[in-house]
Amino acid sequence: MTQHVLLNSVDHHDLRVITTRGAGFGENQWFCPTFPLEFRSVQADFPIFFHKDSQTGQFFPVAIFGFSHHENLFLEQGIWDNTYWPLALRRQPFLIGQQLIKEDGVERAHRVLHIDLDHPRVSKTAGEPLFLPFGGNSQLLDDMASLLETLHHGMQDAKQLVTELLALQLLEGVTLDITLDNGQKHQMIGFYTINEDKLANLDAATLHKLQQQGYLQAIYMVLASQSNIRHLIQLKNQQLKQQQAG
Amino acid sequence: MDQAIKQIVIVGGGTAGWLTAAIIAAEHLVDEGQLAPNPLISILLIESPQVPTIGVGEGTWPSMRLTLQKIGISETEFIRCCDASFKQGSQFVDWQQTPSNGSASFYLHPFTLPVGVPDFNICPYWLGHRDSVSFADAVSQQAELSAAGFAPKFITTPEYSFVNNYGYHLDAGKFSQLLQRHCIEKLGVRHVADHVVSVESASDGDIAAIVTAENGRISADLFIDCSGQQSLLLGQHLQVPFLPQHQVLFNDRALAVQVPYAEAESAIAANTIATAQASGWIWDIGLPTRRGVGHCYSSAHCSDDVALSRLYEYVARTAGGKVADLLSPKKLMIKPGYHAKCLERNCMAIGMAAGFIEPLEASALALVEWSAKQIATQLPRTRQGLDLVASRINQSYLQHWQQIISFLKLHYVLSQRDDDVYWQDHRDTVPDMLKDQLSLWHEQVPSNADFRFQDQLFPAASYQYVLYGMQFNTAAYPQLKPSLKRKAHELFQQNAQRVAKLRTGLPTVRDLLIKINLYGLPPI
């Protein structure tokens, strides 16, 4: 269950947030959203693909952690703490909300900080405080506010990237057929990546435009990230071996 | 005679004219969305500003998805611009018998082919279960889901792809505007708004030119007549005989109205609903913003006043009496029949200029697509080649018309209605070919072997849906292979499982259209 409320220093003066990583904190997911500015860090550890939102049909880039729902192989194999921590997970339990404020008689939407009071990271005893004893925000809260701002702009940028990729017909569906050491087969469907033939045939003007937007780098980061699938398979094989031995 | 075909002139706009222009242009003037630098042909469409378009709501077949994709229109843009919704088939209400208090009979003719097609005709295996499950429900997941108002796809399903096969319901006026814009801006079609005042013959009998009020004489190598029922070039000028069909299909009038929804978010029907009346039937087409409802009837059996009162009764029953009071019906005259040829000399007629029949199976636009595709893909380089292509196209054209007439007639002759002599008159005028087919189908189910030509518009499956929807009796087969019975059983079960699964996941038509307006459909 989730309970999203606008964060304020009166009602929430004694709230704390646990900042360690782990399955108990909702990180047992098989992928999470990511965005171009983060691609360089993400591709060091995880494959990046594109996926459609089931409610809107819109594409968004994702970092992959496993082969099926709730399977985070990095977490399960105990190396999660050594990997890059994607902002979409690091932000929890905070999220961006919208508030309508009247400015000179005109209503404007402002971004405001919301918190999910039911999130397992939220505590009154453990973790770091959000507000200082005599007023003012804690460092954690200030950091979170700027992280969410980065994430917000990153998601806008991801949307723009997707628009460009679709316009240039640079996205194509991939079906990943994976055979594990024990013969088990996995098929991942519903993921998309860069069409390399189309990319190779782009003209100079288009390449220049992509480069100016910063998307040329993003495109190659996505391509480079594909080699991490091998690592995912290794982790899965390792896990199966351990389960057999255990 | 060996002059090259370079200039094509289409006479008449509307859906038929613009759709034809788009299909020919997409084939000859465009490659991968780019205009060809030096095309061999040019296309000019002349549309009279004085002739109003008919503009009632229309239904299409699934073939329209491929047509739109081919001419390069995005499905999202099409749905948003044309007030379009999804059509998954036709629901026939009260056709089997005269409705008596509270008891209505209905059946579906869905667009999805029965499971097993094309390798396996499952129909004989259903005969033994006919008392427990309808044919459409047993062999297609679409019947139950579309009747319950589910959309044929998800918001994540790419443009023009589907979970259940579909065509469209659309606003014909808006559709021809979109096609016109697309033809002019993207496909290199030239447009002249002018009135044709006369037609000039060449010495050999071909059409040399048309003469217009403002632009004078316009010559061409090939003329396409999309002038509607007046059939300006093919019928009036070239005198190709018209073959009337009112002796088989009596309906020659229609009264059409637009019915508002009670609320902006009211459910949208996923099928065309065709409800039989004492001397005709009423169509009911759900668009996102309104319904298009019309009574199609036989003037020999029913006066306009009586037809109008039946239409009002239907609207009052389905939308409320207050709504019915505000209607302003539009009257349409139908001359059921077709010309003996569609291609004569250097002129091809497409759409109502070739022929027209009541919209019982929404065959009008499907025939426009078929005709335009024929001339687009077989377009000869020279005038001489045209004669050779013409005999082939004319033969298929005649076969299509004969099948359409016969298939529409089938809907009437199986009825047990007795509330008007209209229905008895239908049962008394069964064409010989249909009579023979019906006696065969008492012994065995329809199969594609029953049709003499391959490329038919209505496959055997369509006949199965209508026959068994109307409770037609085919004797159970005395012997069926146990292995194939098991196979059929498995297919029936898988079908039922898919229905149960999709029931919990598919959006309603209204919900999907709201999402398409917000987000659009993904292109891949």
pLDDT 10s digits, B470-514: 999 999 999 999 999 999 999 999 999 999 999 999 999 999 999
Query: What are the residues whose beta carbons fall under 8 Å from the beta carbon of B259, sequence distance 6 or more?
Result: B290, B291, B292, B293, B315, B318, B319, B323, B327
For the cut 80, the answer to whether the pLDDT of residue B18 exceeds it is yes
Residue of A nearest to B522 (CA): A57
- Give dist(CA A177, CA A183) in Å, integer: 12
Q: Do residues B415 and B96 touch, judged by C-beta distance below 8 A? A: yes
pLDDT score of B446: 96
What is the per-residue pLDDT for B53? Answer: 61
Indicate the average pLDDT of chain B. Answer: 94
pLDDT (mean) for B274-300:
96
The per-residue pLDDT for B51 is: 64
Closest CA to B276 of B220, B247, B314: B314
Q: CB–CB of A57 and B155 under 8 A?
A: yes
Token duo for residue A56 = 């809107």
Question: Which of B157, B519, B524 lies closest to A58 in CB terms?
Answer: B519
Contact B522 A57 (CB under 8 A): yes
Average pLDDT in the B292-316 region?
96
Determine the residue among B34, B153, B524 to mutate to test chain A binding: the one whose Cβ has the most chain A Cβ atoms within 10 Å. B524
Q: What is the pLDDT of residue A104?
A: 79
Q: Is the CB of residue B438 less than 8 Å from the CB of residue B89?
A: no
Q: Which of B62, B25, B49, B60 is nearest to B376 (CA)?
A: B25
Q: Is the pLDDT of residue B54 over 70?
A: no
Are residues A54 and B156, on separate chains, in Cβ contact within 8 Å? Answer: yes
pLDDT cut 70: percent of chain B above it:
98
Q: Which residue has the tokens 């579909």?
A: B166
B204: left (phi over 0), alpha (psi -120 to 50) or beta: alpha
Kindly indicate the confidence band of residue B57, based on its pLDDT and cuts at 50, 70 and 90.
low
Query: Beta-strand (E) ranges in B104-195?
Result: 106-110, 167-170, 190-193
Q: Where are the beta strands (DSSP E) in B302-387?
A: 330-333, 337-339, 343-344, 347-349, 355-356
Domain B7-83+168-245+336-383 classification at class level:
alpha beta
Per-residue HEC secondary structure of B419-483 comes to CCHHHHHHHCCCCHHHHHHHHHHHHCCCCHHHCCCCCCCCCHHHHHHHHHHCCCCCCCCCCCCHH
Q: Scan residues 288-307 of B and list those with Cβ closer than 8 Å to A.
A: none
pLDDT at B404 over 70: yes
Residue B450 has pLDDT above 90, yes or no: no
Which ranges of chain A have pLDDT less than 50?
Answer: none
DSSP state letters, A63-109: EE--SSTT--HHHHTT-GGGS---HHHHTTTEEEEEEEEEETTEEEE
**Chain A residues with CB-CB distance to B523 below 8 A:** 166
Could you tell me the two tokens for A80? 């999660």
Residue of chain A whose Cα is closest to the Cα of B156: A57
First to last CA, chain B: 47
Using alpha carbons only, give the angle B387, B390, B393 rounded to the nearest 5 degrees: 160
Whether pLDDT at B55 is above 60: no
Residue B150: pLDDT band with limits 50, 70, 90: very high
- A191 CB within 8 Å of a chain B CB: no
User: Across the interface, do B522 and A54 touch by the CB < 8 Å criterion?
Assistant: no
Question: Is the Cβ–Cβ distance between A214 and A36 less than 8 Å?
Answer: yes
CB contact under 8 A, A166 and B523: yes
pLDDT 10s digits, B367-378 = 999 999 999 999
Q: Check residue B509 and give its pLDDT.
A: 98
Secondary structure of residue A10 in the 3-state scheme: coil
How confident is the model at residue A133, as a pLDDT?
A: 85
Q: What is the 3-state secondary structure (H, E, C) of B173-195?
A: HHHHHHHHHHHHHHCCCEEEECC
Of B157, B519, B524, the CB nearest to A56: B519
pLDDT of residue A98: 81
**Which residues in chain A touch residue B34, judged by CB atoms under 8 angstroms apart?**
none
pLDDT at A26: 81
ipTM associated with this complex: 0.85
- Nearest residue, CB atoms, B521 vs list A57, A172, A192: A57
Kindly report the nearest CA distance between residue B213 and chain A, in angstroms.
Answer: 44
Tokens of A33: 């959203």
Pairing of β B30-31 and β B34-35: antiparallel
Beta bridge partners of B284: B273, B293
Show residues of chain A in contact with B518, CB under 8 Å.
Answer: 56
* Selection from A170, A171, A156, A172 nearest residue A206 by Cα: A170
Min Cα separation B515/chain A (Å)? 7
Question: Model confidence at B363, in pLDDT bands (50, 70, 90)?
Answer: very high
